[in-house]
Structures are given as C-alpha cells and as structure tokens.
Amino acid sequence: MKDIILDVGFGFGKTIEHNYQLLQQLKVFQILGLPLLAGLSRKSMIYKVLKTTPEHALHGTIALNMVALQQGAKILRVHDVKAAKETIALWQQLQLADNE
C-alpha cells in the first residue's frame, strides 16, 4: 500500500459548503492509514468566497493549505510551490512548538 494516496477530491461535483465540510473533517480519513492529499490550490471554493479569480487566490490557498496540514494532509497539490514550501515550514515549526 505504499503507492496509494487518498485524494478526497476537493471541488469535484461538490458545493462550496461540501468542500468546507470535507476540509473540516479531513482527519476522519486518517483511519484508512493512507497519506492524505489536499488539492486546494486556486479552487473555486477559495476564489468564489473571496470574490476574486483563480490567479488571485494565493492567500486563500495558503490559508486552506495550513488547515489541511492541521487536519492531517501529508501531500499538497499546488500551483505555487514556494508559497506551499513556506506554509509547510511554518506548520512544521508549529509542530515542534507543540512537542516541547
């Protein structure tokens, strides 16, 4: 099972509300014992709420990527790699602070 990851499919056939409920409950999927992928980058669930465009949804993407990491995501599918790496670095620092 090392080659299997779980993508819950943010955006595919779901309402904005469904996507946010799924994000809030992402931890539930950890019971399956598979790495969780969160593909939130520039999704309509971000830019429609912010009343912007996909190209201008970076800040919302960063915010929801942090939530996904806190909810157990191990893999982020992104368009903006540098921003995602910075988000992960801050999340990792937060985890270190929790363990002290």
Name 29's bridge partners.
Answer: none
**Residue 27 is a catalytic residue:** no
Domains of the chain: 6-99 (3.20.20.20)
Burial class (CB in 10 A: 0-12, 13-18, 19+), 97: exposed
Q: State the Rg of the chain over Cα.
A: 14
pLDDT tens, N- to C-terminus, the chain (100 residues): 578 999 999 998 999 999 999 999 999 999 999 999 999 999 999 999 999 999 999 999 999 999 999 999 999 999 999 999 999 999 999 999 878 7
**Residue 42 is a catalytic residue:** no
Given a contact cutoff of 8 angstroms between Cβ atoms, the answer to whether 60 and 68 are in contact is no
Identify the active-site residue in 27, 43, 51, 74. Answer: 43
Name 38's bridge partners.
Answer: 76
Identify the active-site residue in 2, 27, 77, 82. Answer: 77
